[in-house]
Homo-oligomer: A and B are copies of this chain.
Amino acid sequence: MSTTTAIEAATNPGLPEDTTADGLYEVTEATTRAARTAPVLAALGRAGRGRLLAAMADALWADRERLAATADEETALGVPALLAEVARTADQLRLFGRVLDEGSYLGVTVDARSADGTAFPPVRRWLVPLGPVAVFGASNFPFAYGVAGGDTASALAAGCPVVAKEHPSHPRTCALVLDTLRRAATGAGAPADVVTMVSGFEAGADLVRSPHLAAVGFTGSVGGGRALFDLCAARPSPIPFYGELGSVNPAVVLPGAARNRPVDLARVLADSVLTRGGQVCTKAGLLFLPKDADGDAVLEALLARVTGTAWPVLLNSSICAAYVAGTAARAALPGVRVLTRDEPSAGGRLDPVPPVLLTTDAATLRENPGSALSEECFGPCALVVRYRDTEDLTAALAALAPSLVCALHADDADGDTARAVLPLLAAGAGRVVWNDATCGLRVGWATQHGGGYPASTASGTTSVGAAAIGRWLRPVAYQGVPAGFLPDELRAGDEGDSAGEHAVPFRLDGVPLPSPERKNR
């Protein structure tokens, strides 16, 4: 009997599960079910949870046509983009399967001898699941940051049941995804209640206050995110809140790059602003261009590209209204000028809006740190910031709030300036892109999606990529506990170690040791 099955025996009353339920519950029932499911999910072990994630990935992919069509009705993002997003979402689930299989994420560490070689009762440290977690998805990625998104994938991989908050902007998509995940779970021998859902504004607040809850993942606005962060911090027992709140991402064009390739830059910058109608957290909101003829050439090419682009339909009417009001408010600020011709107007739900490019100079931006210029505005708009010289540029960059991502466009001639600018960009941002668009986050082992507040409420973490699993784990050390009472992975380094297929890379007395070869790799 492993420790996890012992947990199961100790805490799971074994109530029959209603596998026909749709998974949408009141907060108390959802969190109680999640708490009951936690030991079962932990007891599945790495291999069982890997099978669970693979089954979910397969099920989403099998349902992709229906999922994308439903999401398109609710978001207007377009079926092709949504099909690609379902693929990314399935890939994320499979990535965490590989993370589980490889096993380094457990951080298994064994101390058994002191520096002089004296043996002592071994201390064995690893990471265990935190418990049930809440996931608040985003409006703009109904799949990749939704009920089946990266927060859910990483939490389930860690062994934490998920209580999702239904997104009011795409409730039918949420329900379909939930149903797909729950059917896949039971098919893979796991309880359907590894994922449940609650609905409504008050339910969201009650959810993060629930005594059963161990952590919260959130992607959304600064206002909503900060309110939930505050609720988490004010709990009798505070819990971690992993929130991605908002980010005005800078893209900096250095003089050499502007001189050598204005048309290429215009394409990359336009992609950075217009992808998905500018409704991505990685949109470049500030475009720094030199205030000279080379910068003018880039701007001219960019304007041509932006005004030649089809107008997008925005996600919902409140985002559309915020875009109309937000671009108008920015345009009215002293020192700010509108570069584009068409003004967005609040039409119907499915009326497209024109892209908006505004411009100002670096000094104006720097001297108005609290203004709307440094706030995120969803939609196809950006502020072009003209800088006179390196000093003018670095002063403006040093005054920026932290961001999720930033881009530096530099050519060979820009070396010294790039060296001065790079550390300023990296000082707040989670990801620094060289000569490419800010959008288009590759999901892998080295992915970082986070940054200083408000880009993230937990700058030491990432919400995307393999390392995201670390948010849902906590360390436990066993001192002198006999191997027979330990989980398989913790028997590493034991005399007659027979962890076999459970073997993971571990550290013994400070020395990292690779994982033994396993048959199924």
A interface residue numbers (CB < 8 A to B): 1, 3-4, 6-7, 9-11, 98, 102, 104, 107, 109-111, 120-121, 123-125, 128, 130, 229-230, 233-234, 237-238, 240, 394, 398, 408, 418-420, 422-424, 426-427, 429-436, 442, 444-448, 450, 452-454, 457-462, 466-467, 470-471, 473-482, 485, 505, 507, 509-510, 512, 514-515
Of the A-B pairs whose beta carbons lie under 8 Å apart in the complex, a sample of 24, sorted by A's number, is A3-B419, A3-B422, A6-B420, A7-B427, A10-B423, A11-B423, A11-B424, A98-B510, A109-B446, A109-B467, A111-B442, A125-B467, A229-B238, A230-B234, A237-B454, A238-B457, A408-B481, A422-B481, A430-B476, A431-B479, A433-B479, A444-B509, A444-B510, A446-B477
Q: Which residues of B contact A467 (CB under 8 A)?
A: 107, 109, 125, 475
- Rounded to whole Å, the gap between the CB of A366 and the closest CB of chain B is 15
The docked-state distance in angstroms from the alpha carbon of A102 to that of B125 is 19
> Contacts A3-B423, A436-B121, A474-B459; is A418 near B485 (CB within 8 Å)?
yes
**Contact assessment for A1 and B432 in the assembled complex, using a CB-CB cutoff below 8 Å:** no
Q: Which residues of B contact A434 (CB under 8 A)?
A: 121, 478-482, 485
Contact of A432 among B408, B426, B477 (CB under 8 A): B477
**Contact assessment for A507 and B445 in the assembled complex, using a CB-CB cutoff below 8 Å:** yes
Q: Which residues of B contact A466 (CB under 8 A)?
A: 109, 510
Q: Which residues of B contact A110 (CB under 8 A)?
A: 446
- Rounded to whole Å, the gap between the CB of A46 and the closest CB of chain B is 16
Contact of A460 among B121, B130, B237, B422 (CB under 8 A): B130
- The interface centre, meaning the residue of A431, A442, A479 with most chain B CB atoms within 10 A of its CB, is A479
**Contact assessment for B448 and A125 in the assembled complex, using a CB-CB cutoff below 8 Å:** yes
**Contact assessment for B446 and A102 in the assembled complex, using a CB-CB cutoff below 8 Å:** no
A123 nearest in chain B by CB position: B446
The docked-state distance in angstroms from the alpha carbon of A450 to that of B474 is 9
**Contact assessment for B98 and A424 in the assembled complex, using a CB-CB cutoff below 8 Å:** no
> Contacts A6-B420, A6-B423; is A477 near B460 (CB within 8 Å)?
no
A449 nearest in chain B by CB position: B477
- The interface centre, meaning the residue of A123, A462, A509, A515 with most chain B CB atoms within 10 A of its CB, is A123
- Rounded to whole Å, the gap between the CB of A482 and the closest CB of chain B is 7
- The interface centre, meaning the residue of A120, A125, A408 with most chain B CB atoms within 10 A of its CB, is A125
Q: Which residues of B contact A505 (CB under 8 A)?
A: 512
**Contact assessment for B435 and A476 in the assembled complex, using a CB-CB cutoff below 8 Å:** no
A235 nearest in chain B by CB position: B453
- Rounded to whole Å, the gap between the CB of A367 and the closest CB of chain B is 18
Q: Which residues of B contact A478 (CB under 8 A)?
A: 426, 431-432, 434
